[in-house]
Structure 1
């Protein structure tokens, strides 16, 4: 097993590169907002060896969408549920398109 080089992770959307303070700064929000969406189970930050929350770029995009909804007046819990449903819908569409492409390729081969 080889150790990853630091630059190997630079494009990894799932790598927990951001501290809570930095994540809040990037999102223009407070650490309390990040804790709230964590409690609502929208995102689950990884923990550093010292127990500090760490966030990935993917999690920041999800948090940013929740913040947009909250800024529009949606309660945090509802915003989190909406974002989860949007994410599930996008995944279902991706799978559907993939299955359609596979089915079309099979028909073309037949």
Structure 2
């Protein structure tokens, strides 16, 4: 995979924990808590450091938004998981609808 392709890939773990936390305006502890709640599972570098993808950062940003509104972290993570599942189901449904003969 070329460098250009990697940066276009939403799942490529391009961001360190420090950079991810900075981008989110959050703390590394918040990112670790999201991992403990099983919302995101960062990949690990060869040195064992957490690395986050753009997709994971979008989920983390949504979690931060919901938590900042007063929702407990565990509940926020569950909401995001359900939103993500619904989005995927709608995407699949639309794809199947387009493939079905008229």
> How does the TM-score come out when normalised to structure 2?
0.96
The reply to whether residue 54 of structure 1 matches residue 51 of structure 2 is yes
1:18-47 Cα deviation digits (max 9, x unpaired): 000000000000000000010000000000
Between the aligned partners of 2:4 and 2:95, the Cα distance in structure 1 is 31
After TM superposition, give the deviation of residue 5 of structure 1 in Å. Answer: 2.9
The reply to whether residue 22 of structure 1 matches residue 50 of structure 2 is no
Q: CA RMSD in A?
A: 0.8
Between the aligned partners of 2:41 and 2:7, the Cα distance in structure 1 is 21
- Say which is worse superposed, 53-62 or 7-16, in terms of deviation: 7-16
After TM superposition, give the deviation of residue 66 of structure 1 in Å. Answer: 0.6
Give the match for residue 5 of structure 1. 2
Between the aligned partners of 2:4 and 2:96, the Cα distance in structure 1 is 34
Secondary structure at 1:54 match in 2: strand
> How does the TM-score come out when normalised to structure 1?
0.89
The size of the alignment, in residue pairs, is 102
